[in-house]
Amino acid sequence: MLGAISRPTLSFATPEQVAYSFVVFGCSIALIFRRLRPRLALAVVGVLLFVHLVVVQELTVFAGAVCLIGAYTTQTRLLPPWRWGYAAVIYVGAGVAVLTVPTPAPGTDWKVRLVISAAAAALITVAVLAGIVRRNRKARYEDALERAAALEARQAVERRLAAVEERTRIAREMHDVLGHSLNTIAIQAEGVRYVVRTDPQRTDQVLADIGRLSRTAVDDVRDLISVLATDDEGKAPVRPTPTLRDVRELISDLQYTRAAIRLHVEGDLTSIPDQVGLAGYRIVQESLTNALKYADGAAVSVRILVHDDSVELTVLNAASGERRTRPRGVSHHGIIGMQERARALGGTLTAGPDPNTGGWVVAASLPWRQS
């Protein structure tokens, strides 16, 4: 449009008008592709403007507008050193055009030409600065998009990790609570035959214990399902969590099994924080379950030593002639769960054969911070 309304007119009457029409159409087409191939487009524009400078014997509005668009494009589409190289060529070309093209008034003072050159350089500088501002805004926008994408990816990873952690926690609770209850019920049921032969009068008591443990297991399952189905933790049913103070009751539930379990406590169990007490209780519970399951009939000793800022747990079962081997393919979920509980508190837990007795020993140290 600028080429059509400015001088000289678009026409094929004279060689100058033919050249000008060729420059107008060529520059317009090149600028269309300046975003796809900026260096090639600006090179074509530069050649055409040089033809304009040589053939057309006057300054045109179209040529000035193309120079400004080219200067803007150097800052938005090119990378260093091309960016400043093309900008320098535009400055030089504009200055040469102003100083060499004939003016309508012959003999114009050279000072006037310098003023016009300075004005052209100022306009090109404005275009360059506008391109710099546009480039910086685009860079900030792209950085914001990149940060948003990274944040979204991190949140997605955190959500997946949280889901995995929650599934692991639920699996550990199910293993600790239900695994112990069901194994104890199975062992108690097997022990009924032994009690019937040795002490028939206590059979009712053993069966009553089995029934109580069964009801407790059902209640534990209901509590876990209620917690999973409730979004608000405050509305979930809350039952007292067991601690190391409840170990005696835990051992009493196993009094009619074939194993003789002894408990030795040193220190004040009430001084242990509830979180540490719960972890210790679950460790003792899992250790007793494993001892009854894989070394039925072996004597088991439980030792709890309370210090000022930690508690030491030792569960040792003697070697048993009827020791049952772990089935192939069964993973050590119980030991892994106990170790995770200890690490969560900053403590340690080891489990393995005892070289002195030939049995199995679980030793844990659970610290806590003094308030």
Tokens of 256: 């009619």
The string over 231-247, giving b where at least 16 C-beta atoms fall within 10 Å of a residue's C-beta and e elsewhere, is: eeeeeeeeeeebbbebb
Is the pLDDT at 327 greater than 80, yes or no? no
147 in helix, strand or coil? helix
Cα separation, 149 vs 155, whole angstroms: 10
Mean pLDDT of the chain, nearest integer: 81
281 in helix, strand or coil? helix
Higher pLDDT, 115 or 69: 69
CB 292 within 8 A of CB 187: yes
pLDDT tens profile 338-349: 888 899 899 999
User: Which CATH number is associated with domain 244-323+330-371?
Assistant: 3.30.565.10
Name the band, by pLDDT with cuts 50, 70 and 90, for residue 329. Answer: very low
Is the pLDDT at 111 greater than 90, yes or no? no
Higher pLDDT, 327 or 296: 296
Rounded mean pLDDT, 181-205: 71
362 in helix, strand or coil? strand
**Which of these ranges, 70-74, 149-153, 183-187, has the smallest mean pLDDT?**
183-187
183 in helix, strand or coil? helix
Is the pLDDT at 166 greater than 80, yes or no? no
Q: What amino acid is encoded at 268 in this protein? A: D
Is the pLDDT at 351 greater than 50, yes or no? yes
How many helices and strands in the chain, by DSSP H and E? 10, 5
Cα separation, 27 vs 51, whole angstroms: 11
| Planar angle of CA 327, 328, 330, nearest 5 degrees | 75
Higher pLDDT, 295 or 90: 90
270 in helix, strand or coil? helix
Rounded mean pLDDT, 167-192: 70
| Domain regions of the chain by residue span | 2-108, 244-323+330-371
pLDDT over 70, % of the chain: 80
Mean pLDDT highest for which of 11-15, 156-160, 322-326, 360-364?
A: 360-364
Name the band, by pLDDT with cuts 50, 70 and 90, for residue 324. Answer: low
Q: What amino acid is encoded at 60 in this protein? A: T
Tokens of 86: 């093309």
Name the band, by pLDDT with cuts 50, 70 and 90, for residue 75. Answer: very high
